[in-house]
Chain A
Amino acid sequence: AQRVTQPEKLLSVFKGAPVELKCNYSYSGSPELFWYVQYSRQRLQLLLRHISRESIKGFTADLNKGETSFHLKKPFAQEEDSAMYYCALIPGGYQKVTFGTGTKLQVIP
């Protein structure tokens, strides 16, 4: 069975500081990895997926199969980045998504 671990419940950084939200996964095959974000009073939405290898709102995430990690990074945090971030895994085929427990990012002005 697959599992997603986000070790930090809360991450506080100052505006302009680098951000790294950690995500580790366990799965024997080659999964698809995603980051979802939930801003205050908004619904859960997709931020980025590893297969597209794109940068969204300045965030990037690289899949490291050796370390089974998919950390989310941004070089300079902005106040509007404050939100709840969830790492998610899809094993492939049908969309049985496994979410991590989430990390709350708090950007201090």
Chain B
Amino acid sequence: DAGVTQSPTHLIKTRGQQVTLRCSPKSGHDTVSWYQQALGQGPQFIFQYYEEEERQRGNFPDRFSGHQFPNYSSELNVNALLLGDSALYLCASSLTAGGPDEQYFGPGTRLTVT
């Protein structure tokens, strides 16, 4: 099991563009959470997907949207990119969404907006 995988590894976009990041959860996991980690900061919760629905959302604008597929993989979409969206985007998967549990993190996608 490769654990949580994310693609691409790095991405450079221009302001105003749109970007899609992808995540495959650890085998057997059904819940995917997305985080934004700016330089020098801790990860900030964006949203969580379970059973193909957004279950929880952090304080992020509607420009950030997501999707979960029947195979539990997930996408994070960001529209109208701003310079401030430059960050490491982390995906984490877990076995259940019903309570505190260990989350397994992916290596992240480094997004640079110019």
Contact = CB atoms under 8 A, between A and B. Distances in A.
Given A97-B33, A101-B40, A44 B105 contact: yes
A45 B100 contact: no
Which of A44, A51, A88: most chain B Cβ within 10 A? Answer: A44
B103 A95 contact: yes
A96 B106 CA distance: 17
Contact of B42 (A95, A96, A100): A100
Contacts of B97: 94-95
- Interface size of B as a range: 20 to 34
Interface stretch (B16-24, B43-51, B61-69, B73-81): B43-51
Interface in A30-63: 32, 34, 43-46, 49, 51
Contacts of A98: 45
A51 B41 CA distance: 26
B56 to A, nearest CB: 5
Contacts of B87: none
A99 B48 contact: no
Contacts of A86: 42-43
Nearest to A38: B105
B48 A96 contact: yes
Contacts of B107: 43
Shortest beta-carbon contacts, A-B, top 4: A99-B42, A32-B100, A44-B105, A90-B100
Interface of A: 4, 6, 9, 32, 34, 43-46, 49, 51, 86, 88, 90, 92-102
Interface of B: 4, 31, 33, 35, 40-45, 48, 55-56, 58, 90, 94, 97-108
